Structure 1
Amino acid sequence: MTPATAPTLEVVVRRAAPTDAESVMEMVREIAAHEGQSEHVTVTSARWADVLARPDVIVLLASRDGRDLGYVSAIRRLHLWSDRDVIALDDLYVREEARNAGVGRALMATLASRHAEPDRLKITWGVEPDNLAAQRFYQRLGAGLRHKVVAGWDPTGYADVVRSGAAQGH
């Protein structure tokens, strides 16, 4: 290869646009499969295109030589106790062939520098208790870890409560 055609090692991080919906969707499927959660992915590429146009939704893509290597997704939202916005990180995903090459760090650094640091916002996220590699990675970035149980209440779970009339206060 000549220097003009040699691949670059530089990782470029940019905000995803609606035109990136298919690439984001592909990586969402990959992370879900990696986590054994594929059955929970119900969003479509068309919906991703809509979501990526929202100003409160942050999706950053990392690429090298035109190939998307990973993404970080987050939402800017109000934290009611502090009356300040926070960045609620949803996913950080790096494709297997790009792991341990600075891609995750570049995504997190860009999220912090472009979206949190200007307003001094806190970034929060969860990590599975058995994902020790991710926990070590986050600690190397300077993140604090604390254990917390996360609850979820889906419609089948709260249906009986709603039907019983417990919602009379509305």
Structure 2
Amino acid sequence: MKRSAQLANTNNEIKEIVMAGGPVAIRRAQPRDAEATLTLLKGLAEHEDSSQHVHLTLKQLEEYLHRDDVIIFLAEVDGSQIGYSSALRRTYFWGGSEIIALDDLYVRASHRNKRVGEHLMKAMAGQAAHDGLTVMWEVTPTNVAGQRFYSKLGAKLSTKVIATWTPEHYGFIV
């Protein structure tokens, strides 16, 4: 049975779309959504066995949600948040342009395989399309299901090693 869902456009307006699996609203997160968004972010970290790496505070997230370069879409069912996508609009020097750097895409386990992630990605694509920007993100080599999902959306996958350099690792040279 197909039901309607709501999808936010780049102006944060809600428009009606049709999807299977029940009504879902996709909208741009506002500062008042910081607590629910942080809960989802921690849910993702727990799912990835990475909770120890989450240091974001509620106050920080509230401040980030006031920024135009921070893009977070929430998926909701009956006013309850069930997923999110987050990104940052930033400069891409090689391209001489800006990109949307997708950080996270997460849907609670109870709502997976119901096209919620697809609609969160469509919202992000709509945001990028408004200014003709490319969306870039990382996916771990072991996340085969994620790679398959992104490929079905038309994303080009390429292999790259990601390096991180934390203060405790670069401190010895400064």
- Kindly indicate which of the two structures has a greater share of residues assigned to strand: 2
1:89 aligns with 2:102: yes
Match of 1:108 among 110, 116, 121: 121
Q: What does residue 167 of structure 1 align with?
A: none
5 Å matches for 1:1-170?
Answer: 9-113=22-126, 115-162=127-174
What per-residue deviation string (whole Å, max 9, x for no partner) do you get for residues 38-86 of structure 1?
0011111121111111110000001111111100000000100111100
The secondary structure found in structure 1 opposite 2:171 is helix
The secondary structure found in structure 2 opposite 1:32 is helix
Q: Whole-Å Cα distance in 2 between the matches of residues 121 and 10 of structure 1?
A: 29
Unaligned runs of 5+ in 2: 1-20
Q: What value does the CA root-mean-square deviation take over the aligned residues?
A: 1.0
Moved over 4 A (4+): none
Shift of 1:161: 1.1
What per-residue deviation string (whole Å, max 9, x for no partner) do you get for residues 102-125 of structure 1?
100000001111x10011110000
What number of residue pairs does the alignment pair up? 154
Q: Whole-Å Cα distance in 2 between the matches of residues 99 and 9 of structure 1?
A: 12
TM-score under structure 1 normalisation?
Answer: 0.88
Amino acid at match of 1:130: T
The secondary structure found in structure 2 opposite 1:77 is strand
Q: Whole-Å Cα distance in 2 between the matches of residues 68 and 11 of structure 1?
A: 10
Unaligned runs of 5+ in 1: 1-7, 163-170
Larger radius of gyration: 1
Q: What does residue 168 of structure 1 align with?
A: none
